[in-house]
């Protein structure tokens, strides 16, 4: 791990910037955007959903490029694309500019978020990337902690357009130079050839490739749907259960620390186990939290928030480590991009679809998320955990 620290610190910082300036942007600026552009707030979120669809379609191609050329040029390109999209957003004056700008940002998301960072690490370190993947998620786990307050402050001081321009500037003066520090592929060619590129699971004991691919695609889609649904609707959901706004805000504030704490636990303890084991534990936490909340009511809201956040934190790591464990590092970027297409689509649909569930069933909508999480847990249980190589 010591030789990985500079790269982990670099990618952790640039990933924090990438997530804070895109994924976490609408939550703070959507209402101001909608008023100024003359559109509804749901329209702003619809444009954001389009960006997620664009990122899903681009994922396999950007991953394949990283497999061939390494992540340095791709991630540097993402900073330029992010900056262009954010500048376009700041200059937009209607729904056309809004959607066009978010589509450009979606291109940046397709080659500049976790999947690209994970693929870049695997291209550099091969099968010894698990600790590095965990490391960047530990740092970038604070993206909302940094992004939400900063976007809010900028909006109050210079307006939402100024906030977008500031984020664009940060991609140029901070993100681009940092990603330029990543190693070039040709300098690592010899090391890459000597890196063990086989998967962590013995091929004789592994499930058929297509079965594993389908199972992991479903797990990632189900868990990203739940994560996005909770991020969007948790305060409303808790208030529907009778919790006060203060309680809802408190529970929401526990999720970030729970995610980071769980990732730290994964780094210190669970990394000695096969990543499938930690993923199974993580997938079970959301249903357990839902059951506690539905049985005990508002007094268990904090328990629900902590368990959900902890599970989500580890599952974010699993999205990087499970494909590496089952399929190895050769062609990792393209394969992960393919695996994440259903997840990105589910993520795009989650705010709208779970909102419908809330309207129809109220707090009972949690049984839908618990059921999806239990199915993901079942899928993980059906996959074999073989020998684990820790780094």
The architecture in CATH of the region 2-183 reads Up-down Bundle (1.20)
pLDDT value at 351 more than 60: yes
Q: What is the DSSP letter of 184?
A: P
Of 142-146, 189-193, 332-336, the poorest mean pLDDT is in 189-193
Going from the C-alpha of 342 to that of each of 234, 248, 339, the distances in angstroms are 23, 30, 7
pTM of the model: 0.82
- Pick 42 or 172 by higher pLDDT: 172
Output the CA torsion 301→303→304→305 (10° steps): 90
Summarised one tens digit per residue, pLDDT across range 317-335 is 888 889 988 888 888 888 8
Summarised one tens digit per residue, pLDDT across range 301-313 is 899 999 999 999 9
Tokens of 297: 């009511």
Q: What is the pLDDT of residue 206?
A: 44
pLDDT value at 75 more than 70: yes
pLDDT value at 2 more than 80: no
Domains 2-183 and 203-382 share a fold: yes
pLDDT value at 207 more than 80: no
Cβ(123)–Cβ(333) under 8 Å?
Answer: yes
CA-CA-CA-CA torsion sign (16, 19, 25, 28) = negative
Query: Would you place residue 191 in the very low, low, confident or very high pLDDT band (cuts 50, 70, 90)?
Result: very low
Domain ranges of the chain: 2-183, 203-382
CATH (residue range 203-382):
1.20.1250.20
Query: Would you place residue 236 in the very low, low, confident or very high pLDDT band (cuts 50, 70, 90)?
Result: confident
Q: What is the pLDDT of residue 186?
A: 53
* Buried b or exposed e, range 41-50, using 16+ CB within 10 angstroms: eebbbbbbbb
Query: Would you place residue 200 in the very low, low, confident or very high pLDDT band (cuts 50, 70, 90)?
Result: very low
Q: What is the pLDDT of residue 36?
A: 93
Summarised one tens digit per residue, pLDDT across range 275-311 is 899 999 999 999 999 999 999 988 888 999 999 999 9
């Amino acid at each position: 791990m010591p030789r990985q620290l500079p790269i982990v610190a670099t990618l952790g910082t640039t990933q924090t910037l990438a997530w804070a300036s895109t994924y976490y942007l609408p939550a703070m600026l959507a209402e101001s955007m909608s008023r100024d552009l003359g559109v509804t707030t749901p329209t702003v979120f619809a444009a954001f959903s389009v960006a997620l669809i664009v990122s899903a379609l681009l994922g396999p191609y950007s991953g394949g490029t990283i497999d061939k050329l390494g992540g340095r040029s791709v991630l540097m390109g993402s900073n330029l694309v992010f900056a262009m999209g954010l500048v376009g957003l700041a200059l937009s004056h209607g729904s056309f500019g809004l959607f066009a700008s978010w589509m450009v940002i979606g291109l940046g998301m397709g080659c500049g978020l976790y999947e690209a960072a994970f693929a870049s690490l695997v291209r550099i370190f091969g099968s010894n990337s698990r600790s590095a993947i965990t490391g960047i998620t530990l740092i970038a786990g604070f993206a909302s902690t940094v992004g939400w307050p900063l976007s809010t402050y900028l909006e109050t001081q210079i307006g939402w357009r100024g906030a977008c321009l500031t984020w664009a500037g940060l991609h140029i003066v901070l993100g681009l130079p940092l990603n330029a520090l990543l190693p070039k592929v040709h300098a690592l060619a010899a090391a890459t050839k000597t890196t063990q590129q086989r998967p962590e699971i013995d091929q004789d004991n592994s499930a058929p490739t297509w079965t594993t691919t389908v199972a992991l695609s479903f797990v990632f889609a189900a868990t990203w749907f739940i994560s996005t649904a909770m991020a969007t609707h948790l305060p409303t959901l808790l208030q529907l259960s009778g919790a006060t706004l203060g309680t809802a805000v408190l529970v929401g504030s526990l999720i970030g620390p729970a995610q980071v704490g769980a990732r730290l636990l994964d780094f210190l303890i669970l990394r000695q186990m096969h990543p499938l084991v930690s993923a199974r534990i993580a997938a079970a936490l959301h249903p357990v939290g839902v059951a506690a909340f539905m049985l005990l009511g508002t007094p268990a809201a904090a328990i629900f928030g902590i368990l959900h956040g902890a599970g989500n934190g580890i599952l974010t790591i699993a999205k990087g480590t499970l494909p590496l464990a089952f399929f190895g590092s050769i062609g990792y970027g393209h394969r992960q991009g393919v695996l994440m297409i259903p997840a990105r689509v589910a993520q795009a649909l989650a705010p709208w679809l779970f909102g419908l569930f809330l309207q129809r069933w109220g707090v009972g909508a949690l049984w839908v998320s618990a059921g999806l999480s239990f199915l993901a847990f079942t899928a993980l249980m059906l996959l074999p955990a073989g020998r684990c190589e820790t780094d």
